[in-house]
Amino acid sequence: MTDSLPPDDGRVFHPTRMLICVILGFTSGLPLFILLNLVQAWLRSEHVDLKAIGLFALIQFPYTWKFLWAPLMDRFAPNVFGWKPGRRRGWMFVTQLLVAGVVALMGTYSPQRDLMTIAALAAALAFFSASLDISLDAYRRELLSDREQGLGTAMHVNAYKVAGLVPGSLALIMADHLPWSQVFFATAAFMLPGIVMTLVVKEPAIRGTPPKTLREAVVEPFHEFVTRGGWTKALLVLAFIFLYKLGDSMATSLATSFYLDLGFTKTQIGVVAKATSLWASVAGGIIGGVWLIKLGINRGLWVFGVLQLVSVLGFAWLAKAGPVVTGLGAVIAFEAFTAGLGTAAFTAYIARTTDPRYTATQFALFTSLASVPRTFANAGTGYIVDGVGWVTFFLICTVLAVPGMLLLPKVAPWGADDDDGDGVPAASGSR
């Protein structure tokens, strides 16, 4: 596996690079789903109080604040016992080892006796996982040409989602037959493909001059972004990143509670909702990546954004229709499919907006901003539903999807060339 292929040799995409994106996506998603699914199931099966389990949600903060230490990963390249793998591969290798080690170690403790130790390990896992995301996002951005960003991002995101099947399904099945220590060790072993890939691939070619000082690593990424098109355009881009997925994110934040309130059984939710959502989202991501090659990122944001907005109205219809199983499957499939389309275009847009000299810092900043609705805005959705009901709530979510669309003429004009159509002039190192 190598990335020695020239960035623009006439091919629309390189299969080897797409395979790398798949492995990177799986490696990125695994630790997050361990925190969200496996740790929660482990604690509850060991009779830990629900309030204590709920507090474990706070460990996701590193994913929101990862831009604070991303400049360090742009500035410094790890030296692994004399081996110098490079800036991106070095951090990928170190953080993957740390993630695997913490996961394997976590299962050796008892939730009844060592809950605080487990909480500390979970916090460490979140920090190492967020740091791994910084290095993987930077590597993928520098590996792919602008034309490959859409499909490569789709491959990454879909593999990320599929990774959730390991801690969310396979590990839970193993837990019925094996001690938890062995379950965590086996789950940690799924980090090995990413570690091996990191050893085999080459460091992406450096475009531009990487930061030589810590001050340059911290200040220049923000200075470059602002001066590229001025404060007004920079703020428009940041507002778009915050708003584009807001309505869709809020609409699905209480999905399981919504299905239960309508009267669907847990089996119906598990079979119809969860399975349909995963595979429809994967299909949307793959098809979205392919369509982006033809449409371009700008047009993709327009088309997929409209479909994403319309899909939220499906939930309002379902709230009126009641517990109709076929309606549940149709609404969920359409929403997950369009969300996959939108995510493919949105993540490709973020990648294109970064300057390759400061990929880690700018990518971390943009993705952190995009995660704010999921982390904070969604916290108030329960109060909204309690006050206005489900139908009105979904109509509100639909309205909240509009402002992001209204910014598209400024940040991603329909007819603009994708090399400079992000509302700010193209980054100097972009290709």
- Look at 64 and 307; give whichever has higher pLDDT: 307
Residue 1 has pLDDT above 90, yes or no: no
CATH architecture designation of domain 214-411: Up-down Bundle (1.20)
Which among 141-155, 225-239, 309-323, 346-360 has the top mean pLDDT? 309-323
Q: What share of the chain is helix, strand, coil (3-state, %, to 5)?
A: 75, 0, 25
Residue 108 has pLDDT above 80, yes or no: yes
- Look at 220 and 208; give whichever has higher pLDDT: 220
Residue 168 has pLDDT above 90, yes or no: no
Percent of the chain whose predicted confidence (pLDDT) is above 90: 41
Q: How far is CA 67 from the centre of its chain?
A: 14
Give the whole-angstrom CA distance, residue 285 versus residue 394: 24
Nearest to 94 by CA among 110, 116, 78, 111: 78
Instruction: Give the chain's count of helices (H) and strands (E).
Output: 25, 0
Task: Count CA within 13 A, CB hemisphere, residue 29.
Answer: 20
For residues 362 and 371, is the Cβ–Cβ distance under 8 A? no
**Predicted pLDDT at 406:** 97
- Look at 356 and 73; give whichever has higher pLDDT: 73
Helix (H, G, I), strand (E, B) or coil at 80: strand
Give the whole-angstrom CA distance, residue 328 versus residue 259: 8
Residue 52 has pLDDT above 80, yes or no: no
CATH H superfamily, domain 15-200 = MFS general substrate transporter like domains (1.20.1250.20)
Give the whole-angstrom CA distance, residue 367 versus residue 224: 18
Mean pLDDT of 96-120: 95
Mean pLDDT of 203-229: 80
Give the whole-angstrom CA distance, residue 163 versus residue 28: 8
**Predicted pLDDT at 179:** 94
Residue 2 has pLDDT above 60, yes or no: no
Span of 132-141, 162-171, 378-387, 405-414 with lowest mean pLDDT: 378-387
Residue 30 has pLDDT above 50, yes or no: yes
Q: What Rg do the C-alpha atoms of the chain give, in angstroms? A: 21
**Predicted pLDDT at 298:** 93
Task: Count CA within 13 A, CB hemisphere, residue 57.
Answer: 8
Helix (H, G, I), strand (E, B) or coil at 12: coil
Each residue's pLDDT tens digit, 387-410: 899 999 999 999 999 999 999 999
168, two tokens:
């969310």
Q: What is the mean pLDDT of the chain?
A: 85
**Predicted pLDDT at 421:** 47
> Could you tell me which residues are beta bridge partners of residue 83?
80
Domain ranges for the chain, please list them: 15-200, 214-411
Do 15-200 and 214-411 fold alike per CATH?
A: yes
Nearest to 172 by CA among 184, 162, 163: 184
Mean pLDDT of 114-139: 94
* pLDDT bucket at 6, cuts 50 / 70 / 90: very low
* pLDDT bucket at 274, cuts 50 / 70 / 90: low
